[in-house]
Each structure stands twice: as C-alpha cells, then as structure tokens.
Structure 1
C-alpha cells in the first residue's frame, strides 16, 4: 500500500494580550507567514487559532471569515484554519496540552484513513 505522501501538522496560535483588534490582521499575517516558511514541501498545516473574545467582538464575522480565507488562499501549506474564541489568554501548559491533544487527534484520523485505504485495496483484490 502506498502511504500518504503528505505530512499533516497542527499549529496552535494564541493571540497575545497586547495585540489589539486593529493589529490582529497584521499579527495573523506575520504568524501564518512564519508557519508557511517553516513548512516542509510535503506538509499541510491545520491552524487552531485561539482568539480572545475582545478581538472577536471588535471585528465583524465577515471580516474574520475573510481574514481566515485569505490566509488559506495565500499560503499553500496552510490547509485549514479553525477558530476558537476564548475569554482569557491561555497559559503555556494549556497551549502544550492543546497541541498534544491536536496531534493525537490528527494521528487517529490518519490511522483511520490508512485503514480505509487498506480495506479499499483488499476489496479490489477480491473482485
């Protein structure tokens, strides 16, 4: 069986408290540009953006949607952006736990995909 030739990664971004709603688009651009630059040729990144409620409340939903869509359009290694609104800035141990949990979730998903491929190949050999 040919395994997937793509490496998926999850990146957790938390908006620092000093970033204002006006600064947020520039901050997001800077962070996602850095992720793109660090990505390997065969990698895709799922970004989990933990956005402070104060920023979400200051921007319209359409503005946020456009920013996220523009990011995935501009950077080919960024596969998807998921936004989670939070009340307070996350602590480092919370960020580490979220990163670990996301990587575990991704590993389970990739196992499911591989099992599906194996089943598909096995069915093909029976016919």
Structure 2
C-alpha cells in the first residue's frame, strides 16, 4: 500500500514539474507583453495620451485608459487651456506688464491613472 502512495506522489511531482517547465518556457513574464491601440503598438507599462484629457497605459497586454483630473485653480482671473493640453492654467494679462505666462496658482493637471500618479509620457 505504501508503494501506491509513493507512486502517486512521484506522479504528481513530475506533473507539477512539467507544468512549471512549460510555463517558464512560455516567455510571458509580463515585460514582453505588448498592446495595440489605434494601430500603434505599445510595450508593457508604456504610458501615452491619445487625447489631451485621456491617459492610457499598457498593462500586460490590456490597454487601460482614464480621464485626466485637473487641479482647481484659485486666485485666477483668466484661465486658458494651452493647445494640446487638457487642464487650464492661470494667465496674467500681458497689458499689466506680466509678460504673459503663468501667474497665480498652479497649473495643469496630474497624470493619474485610477488614483495613482504616473510618470512618463
């Protein structure tokens, strides 16, 4: 009876070893999985902005996109959205000698995805 248990154990051990060997030869460790969006191929963990107010990431073969969240501007008389951008920035009036560029409170949005701040672009 004991030899039956040993044979069963050896059979299971060999089966598990074969499964692990096949999985390791698969090569899909996650780093080489790519995504395709709008005809463009992206590698795993690539981040891109298909539209000014959208940010996407390639996550193990899946394209995940989210809307960009803009910061609230305070103490700003004139807000403008620069070309190609999503979030408004505060612009001082050039006639006041400010020279046109970002006056008062902060600016653009944060590139976040599902609440996480992303780097890259």
TM-score (norm 2): 0.21
Larger radius of gyration: 2
Q: Relative CO higher for 1 or 2, CA cutoff 8 Å, sep ≥ 6?
A: 1
Structure having the higher helix fraction is 1
Structure having the higher strand fraction is 2
